[in-house]
Amino acid sequence: MTSTGTLSFVHEFAPATAADQPILLLLHGTGGDERDLLPIGRTLAPSAALLSPRGRVLEGGAPRFFRRLAEGVFDLEDLAVRTEELADFVTRAAAHYGFNPARVIAVGYSNGANIAASVLLRRPTVLMAAMLFRPMVPFEPALTPDLQHVRVFIASGRRDPIVPPGQPERLRQLLASAGAAVTIHWHAGGHELGDDEVQAARHWLDAASASFAPVQA
C-alpha cells in the first residue's frame, strides 16, 4: 500500500516473506511512480522486502529523483541534496520498518539508476549492491569513495538514444576504481527495458547473493 507516514517520500513497502532476505530499493524512471518497479522487484527476488519511493521532483508533472537542466544535463546541486535525502530516507525506513540497513540493494531504471549511482558515489555505505538499468555517470566525484564489498550490475542498451555509449563504461571505471565488483550486461535494444536483461539481472543476483556478508540482526 502506498504511504508517507513519518517518512519523507511517498512510497510502497512490502516486508520480506522469508528469513534472511535483502531489501530491494526500487527507483523508477522519469514519469514513473512507486508502483512501477514492484513486478520487476518480485521477479528479481520473490521473497525479498521491497521499498519503493516516488521521486519528489516534478518535471512538467512527471516525477523524478532530481532536477535536470536538459536531457542528460543534470542539476548537480539538486542531485547532491536529493541524493542525501534519499540515503537518509533509506536509513529512516530501516528503523521504521525494522529491516537491516546493511542489506539494501538498489534496483534503478534510467533516472532511478542515476540517483542510485549517485548514492553509491556520495554515500557508499548505504547500499550493499545495486542493479542499474540504463545508468549514466551522475557526477564525477572529487574523492574516490570506498566501495569494496559492493557489487554492481549495469544493464545498458547498445542502441540507447538517451545514454551516450561511453557513459556505462565510464561509470564502470568509476565504481571499479572505488573497489566495487562491476558486471556490465549489454542489451541489443535501446532505452526500454527487455525481459532478457531482467532475467540476466536475476541470475546475477542469485550468484551474487552467495557472496553477500552474512545476515546480522
Given the rule CB under 6 A, which residues bind ligand MLT? Answer: 29-30, 68, 71-72, 110-111, 114, 162
Q: Return the C-alpha torsion angle 96, 1, 41, 110, nearest 10.
A: -90
| C-alpha 149, offset from chain centre | 16
Closest distance of CB 11 from ligand MLT, Å? 19
Catalytic residue among 110, 118, 156, 187: 110
Residue 62 grid coordinates: 512527471
Closest distance of CB 72 from ligand MLT, Å? 5
Which of 168, 126, 127, 169 minimizes the C-alpha distance to 151? 127
Between CA 23 and CA 129, with CA 202 as vertex, the angle to 5 degrees is: 45
Closest distance of CB 111 from ligand MLT, Å? 3
Closest distance of CB 114 from ligand MLT, Å? 4
- CB of 16 or CB of 62, closer to ligand MLT: 62
- CB of 158 or CB of 203, closer to ligand MLT: 158
Residue 73 grid coordinates: 544535463
Closest distance of CB 163 from ligand MLT, Å? 7
Cβ–Cβ under 8 Å, residues 182 and 172: yes
- CB of 104 or CB of 136, closer to ligand MLT: 136
- CB of 72 or CB of 165, closer to ligand MLT: 72
CB atoms within 10 A of CB 68: 17
- CB of 18 or CB of 73, closer to ligand MLT: 73
> What is the rounded CA–CA span in Å between residue 135 and residue 169?
10
Is 177 one of the catalytic residues? Answer: no
Is 156 one of the catalytic residues? Answer: no
> What is the rounded CA–CA span in Å between residue 193 and residue 202?
14
Is 110 one of the catalytic residues? Answer: yes
> What is the rounded CA–CA span in Å between residue 4 and residue 197?
31
Looking at the annotation, which residues are catalytic? 110, 160, 191
